[in-house]
């Protein structure tokens, strides 16, 4: 047992084997013997509950050992819902190490499991005991590690101290770049049980080993080598900044899957590198990392942590710029440019979480910084990026005329060969804005242009967004076959890319199409799956849309109470995010529920609020949709002439979707068949006439 202390006597084993070939020796050691006759059985910790635990934690041997050891200190100790999570966390923290679990359990005489976890994370020294019948070499984890540490060479110690800078797993290339160690040297440390390797070939230090070596990095590294801890941190941060920079062209082209897999694998080290860059105001790191971090966060759903990371960097740069030279002079110029870029990328993430006001504030601040700079290609690109995202936010706030102006200005700057990827973004967002204004053909042209640009570049993720919008236009036009075709391709690509955020949108779109096809149970399945994923990701957009969709399903099935709850939930989310278009849609749903239950006065209340909101959004398509609901209520409740007038306006107005016009025509035909005298068509279905109709309805008691 513990043969690593007898390494000089390894020849004895060779002699025994040569002299008695049938003999078998069972040897435990922290370091491989490196003999040809050696058969290695790696020993790991006891079984610990996985992160995605679904069964009883008491079934795992690490938990069982802790409970057994705990009862030696507290005979009545049992695993409960109150302490279970902390016990499981502790077992994971020490990787199921039996000695560590027994030493940790000894502290139950003074503190609960949760506090033991906190102390273990803070200081390895807590894992010790004064029990007299425990061998001295097993009375603390630090002693165990120190015994093995003394057996290492100076070079091996230096490598391990530097590896302590890594958080989680890392690959050979990163280890070599940060520590200077060769592959054989790293392999030796694996043989000596200081480094562990995953089945995929990634390396890591067990958490207790990392704590021990971290203390050595802080306390001994500079004395032993003359190199500071900060120098090691700088190499670590520089490596991951360069890695992210290398990923940028891959993310914008055909190798997105590879790039996203690499970034996902390096997640914990990327955050650690970012934090160090924040402390150092490391502008080159942010220049390299700003785009790839946004892209990965937006694809993989890392919204809160990415927003927090950008906030830390933004605040650090703001503080650093106080008292610096003017923005137009170096280094103020570089800081102003990257600050505006960070603000803009963060602004893209805010709407995913329903924080439109913060997104708008970011864009405004970014534009202010950029407008103080002289005109350069970098400044112009920054302006285009900030204007484009500001346009997207304005669209979400239903200020689509202003959105089109901002987006068109951005598009003009980006319309060149060096910015094709971003030109696709401008086309997509312009399509969204003009679609809300009822310019359907123009919207389709923008979506098609975006899809073609990204197809040529090999950018499949955002091409999927364009295809999803083309599916929406097809559905509105009543072409459900085309809509389904677009969405089938989108769904397959989202899965292929591992794009969980995009998949949540695709699932919601599939729900919309299934509902339009009359497949209520299918729609409910799509919406429910989308909602679960959106909740997990914190994707506010999709969460709101799925509440609305599930409300429509329940309404179609006659489940009035369930429908009203879903529409009310959608309304609350839209109100919280200040998204008036979605507030209107939720109110229309609640109006439909009220009508179905014969509550006409309540329906009028919802419709009046919806109509009032449309006057603030200035969206003709949205106003026409509300007027259709008003007409439906009116024709059923002794206002057939008013209903017919509104329906004829919808049929004539160019901003009305084809499907809505078809529904209005069908309703008019049924009214005519029932003997209702239809009024003469309006002189002209102009925006002014539409506004006059809406104002008239709001001024009268028609919806009171």
- For the chain (length 704 residues), average pLDDT per consecutive 10? 77 86 86 83 84 80 90 88 89 85 83 87 71 59 82 94 96 96 94 90 91 92 94 97 96 93 96 97 95 96 96 95 64 85 97 93 95 88 96 92 96 92 97 92 97 96 96 92 96 93 95 94 96 94 95 96 97 92 95 92 91 84 91 81 88 86 89 80 72 84 60
Return the exposure string of 77-116: e unless at least 16 CB atoms fall within 10 Å of the residue's CB, then b.
Answer: bebeeebbebbbbbbbbbbbbebbbbbbbbbbeeeebeeb
Beta strands in 267-348 (DSSP E): none
The reported pLDDT for the residue numbered 473 is 95
| Other CB atoms within 10 Å distance of the CB of residue 659 | 14
For residue 264, what are its two tokens?
Answer: 């996902």
Closest CA to 398 of 204, 624, 580, 272: 580
Long-range CB contacts (< 8 A, 24+ apart) of 366-370? 366/339, 366/340, 366/341, 367/340, 369/327, 369/336, 369/339, 369/340, 369/343, 370/336, 370/337, 370/340
The reported pLDDT for the residue numbered 106 is 82
| Other CB atoms within 10 Å distance of the CB of residue 70 | 25
Alpha helices in 96-195 (DSSP H): 98-105, 113-122, 141-149, 154-163, 172-179, 183-191
Cα 580 to Cα 617: distance, rounded to the nearest angstrom: 7
CATH of span 152-227? 1.10.10
Domain ranges for the chain, please list them: 1-41, 57-135, 152-227, 598-704
DSSP 522-562: HHHHHHHHHHHHHHHHT-HHHHHHHHHHHHHHHHHTT-HHH
The reported pLDDT for the residue numbered 137 is 60
Assess contact for 656 and 621: CB atoms under 8 A: yes
Assess contact for 141 and 163: CB atoms under 8 A: no
The pTM of the full predicted model, rounded to 2 decimals, is 0.83
Cα 485 to Cα 464: distance, rounded to the nearest angstrom: 12
Closest CA to 507 of 487, 489, 493: 487
Residue 170, beta-bridge partner list: 203
Q: How far is CA 511 from the centre of its chain?
A: 22
The dihedral sign for the CA sequence 566, 570, 575, 581: negative
Residues sharing a CB contact under 8 Å with residue 556, sequence separation 6 or more, in sequence order: 515, 520
Cα 629 to Cα 564: distance, rounded to the nearest angstrom: 16
Assess contact for 591 and 633: CB atoms under 8 A: yes
The reported pLDDT for the residue numbered 545 is 95
Question: Which H or E element spans position 693?
Answer: helix 687-699
Closest CA to 140 of 153, 131, 129, 148: 129
């Amino acid at each position: 047992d513990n043969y690593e202390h007898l390494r000089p006597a390894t020849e004895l084993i060779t002699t025994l084997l040569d002299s008695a070939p049938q003999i078998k020796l069972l040897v435990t050691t922290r370091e491989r013997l490196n003999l040809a006759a050696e058969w290695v059985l790696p020993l790991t910790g006891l079984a610990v509950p996985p992160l995605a635990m679904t069964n009883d934690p008491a079934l795992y041997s690490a938990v069982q050992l802790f409970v057994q050891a705990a009862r030696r200190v507290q005979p009545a100790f049992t695993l409960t819902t109150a302490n279970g999570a902390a016990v499981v966390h502790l077992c994971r923290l020490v990787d199921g190490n039996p000695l560590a679990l027994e030493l940790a359990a000894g502290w139950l005489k003074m503190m609960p499991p949760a506090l033991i976890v906190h102390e273990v994370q803070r200081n390895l020294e807590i894992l010790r005991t004064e029990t007299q019948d425990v061998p001295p070499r097993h009375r603390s984890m630090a002693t165990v590690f120190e015994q093995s540490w003394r057996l290492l060479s100076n070079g091996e110690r230096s490598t391990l101290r530097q590896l302590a800078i890594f958080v989680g797993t890392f690959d050979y290339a990163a280890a070599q770049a940060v520590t200077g160690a060769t592959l054989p040297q790293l392999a030796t440390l694996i043989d000596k049980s200081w480094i562990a390797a995953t089945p995929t070939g990634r390396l890591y230090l067990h958490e207790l080993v990392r704590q021990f070596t971290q203390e050595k990095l802080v306390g001994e590294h500079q004395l032993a080598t003359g190199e500071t801890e900060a120098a090691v941190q700088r190499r670590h941060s520089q490596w991951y900044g360069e890695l992210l920079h290398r990923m940028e062209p891959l993310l914008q082209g055909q190798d997105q899957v590879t790039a996203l897999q690499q970034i996902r694998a390096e997640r914990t080290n990327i955050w650690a590198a970012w934090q160090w860059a924040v402390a150092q105001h490391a502008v080159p790191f942010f220049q390299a990392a700003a785009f790839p971090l946004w892209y990965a966060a937006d694809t993989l759903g890392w919204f809160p942590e990415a927003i927090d990371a950008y906030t830390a960097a933004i605040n650090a740069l703001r503080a650093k710029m106080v008292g610096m030279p003017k923005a137009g002079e170096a280094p103020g110029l570089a800081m102003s440019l990257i600050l505006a870029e960070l603000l803009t990328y963060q602004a893209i993430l805010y709407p995913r979480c329903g924080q439109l006001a913060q997104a708008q504030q970011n864009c405004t601040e970014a534009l202010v910084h950029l407008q103080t700079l002289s005109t350069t290609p970098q400044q112009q690109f920054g302006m285009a990026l900030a204007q484009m995202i500001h346009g997207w936010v304005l669209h979400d706030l239903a200020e689509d005329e202003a959105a089109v102006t901002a987006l068109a200005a951005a598009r003009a700057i980006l319309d060149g060969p060096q910015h094709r990827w971003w030109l696709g973004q401008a086309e997509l967002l312009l399509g969204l804005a003009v679609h809300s204004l009822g310019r359907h053909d123009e919207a389709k042209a923008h979506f098609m242009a975006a899809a073609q640009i990204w197809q040529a570049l090999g950018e499949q993720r955002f091409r999927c967004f364009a295809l999803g919008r083309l599916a929406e236009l097809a559905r509105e036009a009543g072409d459900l076959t085309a809509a389904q075709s677009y969405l089938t391709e989108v769904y397959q690509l989202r899965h292929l890319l591992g794009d969980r955020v995009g998949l949540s949108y695709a699932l919601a779109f599939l729900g919309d199409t299934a509902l339009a096809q009359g497949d209520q149970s299918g729609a409910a399945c799509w919406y429910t799956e989308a909602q679960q994923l959106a909740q997990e990701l914190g994707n506010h957009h999709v969460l709101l849309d799925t509440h609305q969709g599930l409300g429509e399903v329940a309404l179609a099935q006659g489940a009035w109470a369930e429908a009203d709850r879903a529409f009310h939930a959608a309304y609350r989310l839209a109100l919280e995010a200040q998204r008036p278009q979605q507030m209107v849609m939720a109110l229309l749903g609640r109006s439909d529920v009220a009508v179905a239950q014969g509550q006409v006065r309540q329906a009028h209340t919802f419709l009046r609020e919806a109509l009032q909101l449309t006057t603030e959004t200035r969206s003709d398509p949205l106003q026409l949709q509300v007027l259709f609901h008003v007409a439906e209520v009116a024709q059923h409740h002794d206002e057939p002439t008013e209903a017919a007038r509104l329906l004829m306006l919808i049929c004539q107005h160019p901003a009305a979707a084809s499907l809505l016009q078809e529904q209005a025509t069908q309703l008019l035909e049924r009214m005519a068949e029932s003997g209702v005298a239809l009024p003469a068509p309006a002189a002209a279905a102009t925006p002014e006439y539409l506004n006059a109709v809406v104002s008239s309805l709001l001024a009268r008691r028609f919806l009171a």
